[in-house]
Amino acid sequence: MKPEVGGQYKMSFTNLTTGKSHSFGGEYLELMANQKLRYTAVFDDPNLPGIMQTTVTLKSIWCGVEMHIIQEGIPDMIPIEACYLGWQESLQLLTLLVEPEIRE
C-alpha cells in the first residue's frame, strides 16, 4: 500500500464460508486527513470487469463521526446486498479494534 494520491494498493480477501478468494487493487485518487478517502478498485478476475470507485467521507459530529460510503461501478455479478453486508461486517470488526475495553 502506498497511501498517497496516485499511490496504489493491492489486496485479497477470502470468503470463509465458500473458501473462494478474490484479489484486487487500485489507486488512491483523493486523501484528505479525517475528511475524505476516494480510490479505485479493479478485480483480477476477468468475470468482475470494470473499475469501481469508492468514496468515504467523514464528518465530526457531537457524539462521534458520521460516515458516508458511496461505491460506483460495481460489477453486475456482485449483488448490491453483498456490498451492504460486506461494509456492515467490516465496520463491526473495525469497532472491535477501536472501541475501548471498559472494565469495572
| Residue 103 within any structural domain of the chain | no
| Residue 3 within any structural domain of the chain | no
| Residue 76 within any structural domain of the chain | yes
pLDDT attached to residue 70: 96
pLDDT attached to residue 98: 85
- pTM comes to 0.83
* Mean pLDDT for back-to-back runs of 10 residues, the chain (104 residues): 92 85 94 96 92 96 92 92 90 87 75
Tell me which residue range forms the domain holding 19: 8-98
| Residue 26 within any structural domain of the chain | yes
* Among the listed residues 88, 95, 56, 89, the one whose alpha carbon sits nearest the alpha carbon of residue 72: 56
The CB density around residue 27, as the number of other CB atoms within 10 Å, is 17
The total number of structural domains in the chain stands at 1
pLDDT attached to residue 104: 73
| Residue 59 within any structural domain of the chain | yes
| Residue 2 within any structural domain of the chain | no
Q: What is the CATH number of the domain that holds 22?
A: 3.30.530.20
Could you give the residue ranges of the DSSP H alpha helices within 2-102?
Answer: 80-98
pLDDT attached to residue 101: 77
pLDDT attached to residue 103: 75
